């Protein structure tokens, strides 16, 4: 057991798209970053729950409103796809991109199989993290980022959070996604499944087989429709169509039950679609290793983003990210999803204050656990916005360190935007030039 303690400029817990984007943004400002991941490998939901679709990141006129690290992760979605083609990715390519980008940052340290298990605080500051797993030790830093999706670090620090929808606290349904290969597309009404029209047609073709199974009581899936997307190869499909209710990531028993139920529903749905002639020889390639959890803790922050903010395309003076994706609530009751698009110009701002948790001066939120309502969270939880949130959080944290600040509230959003803009990220509002030190403090000390 390693009893040493390690010190960094910044520690980021969670290596999904939010944590990785934050780590890259900060390391590129020469910060000494420790990125922690409890799983054996980096990637989080976008890799291990296989979601496949690159959700909308363009405004009403097609202009990208995220263009920073997200563009490095999904380059084809910025150059290749038009409105006819379904923009999707292969999770193996995403994982390879994460690993390549992380490995190319010399000031970034990655520890996988390493869980933050305890957080020591004093006077509204985090002073130390206790880790379990490949390294059982303690680590310290000037600033910490919660990129655990479910706000695990913030909860361990004793901060306030909200869970589920107003009224009954129920969360969006969870989904076990699965990949199907060996489809004989020539037997489909529209064979080129890379096209939206073909995917809609395919879903209509498959639906009667599923509904027959449902009518016969052979599945517990409450959904009345089928959702699937093509892989970029145009030959295999990802089904995002199971619906497991009452899974709460803060209650481990519900995760175990949910995973079993998700696998059962996936197998039931596969049996149903196999009745279609194009699927007679299809193969259930795999069920995603991790049950897809859409919602967890939302940490109470300095500003709570609301459904009205999203649906009124609201602008904020302290914007640091933007989101163009609809409100998309997979019903906690198992009914139809609520899908409402963002009106013209088609996107809203995410303010820096939503990344700042109340009650702590050296912590930022860097994943889908930012401060917002159940409804708003259903929109900004997609990977494009979470990447932009992470990039903003990593940049703000670096400024906190470089400027020798004591409270994350002292970081000025025009400074954050200045750096984001230099990096190619989409920002709006005033930008303020910042004089950067010639070399970071750790490099000075090493001399
Ligand atoms: C079924 C489903 C379908 C979806 N479909 C789409 C889609 O089509 N397109 C889209 O853009 N988005 C989609 N989403 C949403 C999107 O994938 C996620 O919201 C997003 O990837 C979350 O990123 P994150 O970085 O916040 O969290 P995650 O990717 O979940 O990463 C959090 C990481 O933190 C780690 N962690 C947690 N606690 C600790 C701890 N104590 N110590 C160390 N590490 C810890 C976890 O292991 C995990 O790796 C979907 C989500 C689901 C569930």
User: pLDDT band at 80, cuts 50/70/90?
Assistant: confident
Q: Cα separation of 295 and 311, whole Å?
A: 20
pTM above 0.85, yes or no: yes
Condensed to tens digits (0 to 9), the pLDDT of residues 104-162 reads 999 999 999 999 999 999 999 999 999 999 888 999 999 999 999 999 999 999 999 99
Q: Whose CA is nearest to atom 17 of ligand 1?
A: 46
Q: Annotate 147-160 with DSSP letters as a single string.
A: -SSS-HHHHHTT--
Best substitution site from 12, 15, 16 to test ligand 1's pocket, by max atoms within 8 Å of Cβ?
Answer: 16
Best substitution site from 88, 382, 390, 394 to test ligand 1's pocket, by max atoms within 8 Å of Cβ?
Answer: 382
The CB of 292 under 6 Å from ligand 1? The reply is yes
Condensed to tens digits (0 to 9), the pLDDT of residues 199-211 reads 999 999 999 999 9
Best substitution site from 35, 46, 171, 331 to test ligand 1's pocket, by max atoms within 8 Å of Cβ?
Answer: 46
173 C-alpha to center of ligand 1: Å?
14
3-state secondary structure of 350: strand
The CB of 151 under 6 Å from ligand 1? The reply is no
Condensed to tens digits (0 to 9), the pLDDT of residues 364-408 reads 999 999 999 999 999 999 999 999 999 999 999 999 999 999 999
Phi, psi at 377, each rounded to 5°: -60, -35
378 C-alpha to center of ligand 1: Å?
13
Share above pLDDT 90 across residues of the chain, in percent, rounded to a whole number:
93
Q: Do you know the residue count of the chain?
A: 447
Residue among 172, 173, 176, 171 at smallest CA distance from 264: 176
Share above pLDDT 70 across residues of the chain, in percent, rounded to a whole number:
97
224 C-alpha to center of ligand 1: Å?
25
The CB of 408 under 6 Å from ligand 1? The reply is no
User: pLDDT band at 447, cuts 50/70/90?
Assistant: low
Phi, psi at 340, each rounded to 5°: -130, 120
Cα atoms in the Cβ-side hemisphere of radius 13 Å centred on 90: 10
3-state secondary structure of 77: helix
User: pLDDT band at 82, cuts 50/70/90?
Assistant: confident
Q: Whose CA is nearest to atom 15 of ligand 1?
A: 382
Element (H, E) at 125: strand 125-133
Q: At a CB cut-off of 8 Å and minimum separation 6, what does 180 contact?
A: 228, 236, 237, 238, 239, 270, 273, 279, 282, 283, 284, 285
Dihedral sign of CA atoms 176, 179, 183, 185 in order: positive
Q: At a CB cut-off of 8 Å and minimum separation 6, what does 82 contact?
A: none
392 C-alpha to center of ligand 1: Å?
17
User: pLDDT band at 1, cuts 50/70/90?
Assistant: very low
3-state secondary structure of 83: coil
438 C-alpha to center of ligand 1: Å?
36
């Amino acid at each position: 057991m390693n009893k040493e303690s390690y010190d960094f400029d910044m520690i980021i817990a969670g290596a999904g798209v939010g944590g990785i984007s934050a780590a890259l943004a900060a390391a590129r400002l020469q910060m000494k970053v420790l990125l922690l991941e409890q799983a054996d490998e980096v990637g989080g939901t976008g890799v291990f729950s296989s979601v496949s679709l690159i959700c909308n990141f363009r405004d009403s006129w097609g202009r990208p409103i995220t263009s920073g690290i997200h563009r490095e992760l999904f380059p084809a979605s910025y150059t290749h796809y038009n409105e006819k083609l379904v923009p999707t990715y292969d999770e193996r390519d995403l994982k390879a991109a994460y690993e390549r980008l992380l490995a190319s940052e010399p000031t970034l340290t990655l520890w996988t199989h390493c869980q933050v298990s305890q957080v020591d605080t004093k006077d509204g500051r985090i002073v130390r993290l206790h880790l379990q797993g490949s390294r059982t030790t303690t680590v310290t830093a000037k600033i910490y980022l919660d990129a655990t999706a479910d706000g695990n670090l913030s909860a361990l620090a004793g901060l306030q959070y909200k869970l589920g929808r107003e009224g009954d606290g129920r969360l969006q349904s969870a989904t076990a996604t699965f990949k199907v290969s060996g489809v004989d597309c020539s037997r489909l009404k529209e064979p080129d499944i890379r096209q939206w029209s073909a995917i809609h047609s395919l879903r209509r073709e498959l639906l009667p087989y599923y509904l027959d199974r449902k009518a016969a009581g052979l599945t517990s899936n409450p959904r009345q429709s089928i959702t699937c997307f093509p892989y970029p190869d145009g030959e295999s499909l990802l089904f995002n169509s199971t619906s497991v209710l009452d899974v709460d990531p803060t209650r481990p028993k519900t995760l175990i039950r949910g995973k079993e139920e998700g696998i059962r529903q996936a197998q039931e749905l596969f049996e149903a679609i196999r009745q279609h002639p194009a699927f007679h020889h299809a193969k259930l390639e795999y069920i995603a290793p991790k049950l897809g959890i859409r919602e967890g803790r939302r940490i109470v922050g300095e500003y709570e983003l609301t459904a009205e903010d999203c649906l009124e395309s609201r602008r904020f003076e302290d914007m640091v990210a933007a989101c163009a994706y609809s409100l998309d609530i997979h019903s906690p009751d198992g009914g139809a999803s609520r899908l409402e698009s963002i009106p013209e110009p088609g996107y809203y701002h995410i303010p820096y204050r939503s990344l700042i948790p109340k009650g702590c001066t050296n912590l930022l939120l860097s994943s889908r656990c930012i401060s917002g309502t159940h409804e708003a969270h259903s929109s900004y939880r997609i990977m494009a916005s979470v990447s932009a949130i992470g990039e903003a959080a990593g940049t703000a944290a670096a400024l906190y360190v470089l400027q020798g600040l004591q409270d994350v509230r002292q970081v000025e959003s025009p400074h954050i935007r200045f750096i984001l803009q230099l990096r190619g990220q989409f920002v709006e509002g005033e930008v303020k030039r910042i004089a950067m030190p010639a070399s970071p403090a750790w490099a000075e000390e090493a001399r």
